[in-house]
Amino acid sequence: MAFGVVFTQGVVSGDPHRVTHEILEQAEAADRLGFSAALTTEHKYSEEYFGSPLHMAYAIAARTERVKVGTSIAIAPLYNPVELAQDAAMLDQLSGGRLWLGLGAGYLPEDFSTVGVPFDGRGQRFDETVRIIRQGWTEERFSFSGQVYDLKDIAVIPKPMQSPPPIHLGAWTPGGLARAGRLGDGWITNALMSVDTMRTLGDMYRSSAADHGRSPKVTAIRFCWTAESREDAVRDFGSTALDMVRTLFTYGAITDMPGVTSADQITLEDAMRDRMIFGTPDECAAAVEEYRTRAQVDDLLLIFRHPSGPAQDRVLAAMELFGTEVIPRFAA
């Protein structure tokens, strides 16, 4: 099992120059501590996220030597597919074959209106984008005719160093899971679905992958906090965790909390119960094992810092503790 890191910070975290350099410092720590990837994400309209994930990934690639670099996720329908294929291929070349490309269809209309792309039809646009990227990476020249894009005699230059890099697709709807199995090299969960939901959706994805002759790979995103004691974990990450869960519930990214009708009803215990990796190294390792066995997760992408905190020194300490005390238990 591999453990990557995803960075979710934006201008609400502070001065952009300082925050982007804190992300680079976290990426360097991930590279040193045995994490497998250091990935970016995006929302186009939000102060809580930066909206240029590949640009940030280029900088991470320049500051690291070993970790995979890229996105989890970039909102694919917002991009010209040929440019996205070229930019991602360039990242693969610059990093020496370390590209990890995670793509999603998007679920917030504001992301689309910000850049003038129709929200309706995003599923078809996403579908065609993935197919175009794969053709562009694997064929010297190609043409493509779809409902959205019509391309004649196109070449993606440069080609990626990997031949080709895998494309991981985020989804949590039946159609999205079917697409991930049909087109993707892996499925990315959302950050706060429960273990039971993850298992149910994972079964749908695995069934689709089997139907299309693909080997399934499940990558779960989880908020994570490691501390010497549970009391320290609550002190350092409790308010951040609760704020984060309530925010994502309001965004519509959490839909499997029966009986909860408003964000202010969610408690910290709700947030920690099988929706994140939280506590001492032993507790974190037990949570990882639950995801591995109950939800059949192959790899984990961990978020140690929400846009509102905690502070950088504590984030680095939590990463250090996880890297030295938890990752080695799953190295085999």
Q: How many structural domains compose the chain?
A: 1
Tell me if the pTM is above 0.85.
yes
The CATH number for 300's domain is: 3.20.20.30
- 252 Rama sector, left if φ>0, alpha if ψ -120 to 50, beta otherwise: left
pLDDT per residue of the chain (332 residues) written in tens, 0 to 9: 999 999 998 888 899 999 999 999 999 999 999 999 999 999 998 888 898 999 999 999 999 999 999 999 999 999 999 999 999 999 999 999 999 999 999 988 999 999 999 999 999 999 999 999 999 999 999 999 999 999 999 999 999 999 999 999 999 899 999 999 999 999 999 888 889 999 999 999 999 999 999 999 999 999 999 999 999 999 999 888 888 888 878 877 788 888 888 998 988 887 777 888 999 999 999 999 999 999 999 999 999 998 888 999 999 999 999 999 999 999 86
Longest CA pairwise span in the chain (Å): 61
CB 53 within 8 A of CB 42: yes
Range of the domain at 139: 3-330
In 77-215, at which residue ranges do the beta strands (DSSP E only) sit? 99-104, 142-145, 150-154, 167-170, 186-188
